[in-house]
Chains A and B, each alone.
Chain A
Amino acid sequence: MTVTLQTKSGEFKFETAPGEPVLFAGLRAGLTLPYECATGTCGTCRARKISGDCSPGWSEAPGMARFHPDKGDMLMCQAKASGDCLLRVPADVQQRDANTLSPSSIQGRISACRMLTSDVMHVELFLDQPIPFDAGQFMVVGAPGLEGGRAYSMVNHAMETDQLNFVVKRKPDGGFCNWLFDNDVVGSLVTLFGPLGAATFRPEEGFDLLCITGGSGIAGIMSILSHASAIDYFMTHQGQLYFGVRTLADGFYLPELAAMIAKSRENLQVTLALSDEKPSSDRHPDFPDIRLAEGFVHDVAAQSIDGSQENTIGFVAGPAPMVDGAIRVLIANAGLPANRIRYDKFS
Chain B
Amino acid sequence: MSWIKVCKTDDVPENSVKKFWAGGGTIPLVIARHKNGYRAMPPVCPHMEEPLDVSGVVAGCVLTCTKHLWAWNLETLELQGEAEKPLKTYDVKIEGEDVMAFISEELVYEFDDEDDMDDDDFFNS
Q: How big is the A interface, by class? A: 20 to 34
Docked CA distance A107–B16 (Å): 49
Docked CA distance A332–B60 (Å): 9
Kindly identify which residue among A6, A331, A345 contacts B68, using a CB–CB cutoff of 8 Å. A345
Stretch from A108-116, A120-128, A243-251, A334-342 at the B interface: A334-342
Query: Looking across the interface, which residue of chain B has its beta carbon closest to that of A336?
Result: B59
Kindly identify which residue among A8, A68, A338, A345 contacts B80, using a CB–CB cutoff of 8 Å. A338
Query: Looking across the interface, which residue of chain A has its beta carbon closest to that of B60?
Result: A335
B80 touches A337 (CB 8 A): yes
Query: Looking across the interface, which residue of chain A has its beta carbon closest to that of B54?
Result: A324
Determine chain B's interface SS by DSSP, over half rule: mixed
Docked CA distance A90–B125 (Å): 10
Docked CA distance A345–B65 (Å): 13
Query: Looking across the interface, which residue of chain B has its beta carbon closest to that of A340?
Result: B81
Quick one: given A48-B117, A335-B59, are A328 and B122 in contact (CB under 8 Å)?
no
> A327 at interface (Cβ–Cβ under 8 A)?
yes
Q: Mark B107-123, 1 if CB is under 8 A from A, else 0.
A: 00001011011000011
Contacts of B113 in A (CB 8 A): 90
Kindly identify which residue among A71, A335, A337 contacts B71, using a CB–CB cutoff of 8 Å. A337
Q: Closest approach, in angstroms, between the C-beta of A122 and any C-beta of chain B?
A: 31
Docked CA distance A7–B125 (Å): 11
B15 touches A339 (CB 8 A): no
Contacts of B7 in A (CB 8 A): none
Docked CA distance A341–B81 (Å): 9
Docked CA distance A88–B114 (Å): 11
Quick one: given A6-B123, A338-B64, A338-B71, are A66 and B117 in contact (CB under 8 Å)?
no
CB-CB contacts below 8 Å: A59-79 with B: 66, 68, 71
Docked CA distance A48–B125 (Å): 17
Contacts of A8 in B (CB 8 A): 122-123, 125
B123 touches A327 (CB 8 A): no
Q: Mark A269-295, 1 if CB is under 8 A from B, else 0.
A: 000000000000000000000000000
Contacts of B60 in A (CB 8 A): 335
B15 touches A338 (CB 8 A): no
Docked CA distance A48–B118 (Å): 9
Kindly identify which residue among A6, A7, A66, A331 contacts B66, using a CB–CB cutoff of 8 Å. A331
> B22 at interface (Cβ–Cβ under 8 A)?
no
Q: Closest approach, in angstroms, between the C-beta of A54 and any C-beta of chain B?
A: 15
Docked CA distance A7–B116 (Å): 12
Q: Mark A1-43, 1 if CB is under 8 A from B, else 0.
A: 0000011101000000000000000000000000000000000
A88 touches B69 (CB 8 A): no
A332 touches B15 (CB 8 A): yes
Q: Closest approach, in angstroms, between the C-beta of B117 and any C-beta of chain A?
A: 5
Quick one: given A339-B80, A339-B81, are A331 and B122 in contact (CB under 8 Å)?
no
A338 touches B81 (CB 8 A): yes
CB-CB contacts below 8 Å: B10-53 with A: 15, 48
Contacts of A7 in B (CB 8 A): 123
Quick one: given A48-B117, A338-B64, are A332 and B57 in contact (CB under 8 Å)?
yes
CB-CB contacts below 8 Å: A196-231 with B: none
Sort A-B residue pairs by CB-CB distance and give the 10 closest, nearest first.
Answer: A338-B81, A338-B71, A338-B69, A327-B66, A331-B57, A48-B117, A338-B64, A331-B59, A324-B66, A328-B57
Q: Which residues of B approach A to under 8 Å, CB–CB?
A: 15, 48, 55, 57, 59-60, 62, 64, 66-71, 80-82, 111, 113-114, 116-117, 122-123, 125
Q: Which residues of A approach B to under 8 Å, CB–CB?
A: 6-8, 10, 48, 66, 68, 71, 88, 90, 324, 327-328, 331-332, 335, 337-339, 341, 345
Can you spell out 23 A-B residue pairs with CB atoms less than 8 angstroms apart? A6-B122, A6-B123, A8-B123, A71-B114, A88-B117, A88-B122, A90-B113, A90-B116, A324-B55, A327-B57, A327-B64, A327-B66, A327-B69, A328-B57, A331-B66, A332-B15, A337-B80, A338-B62, A338-B69, A338-B81, A338-B82, A339-B80, A339-B82
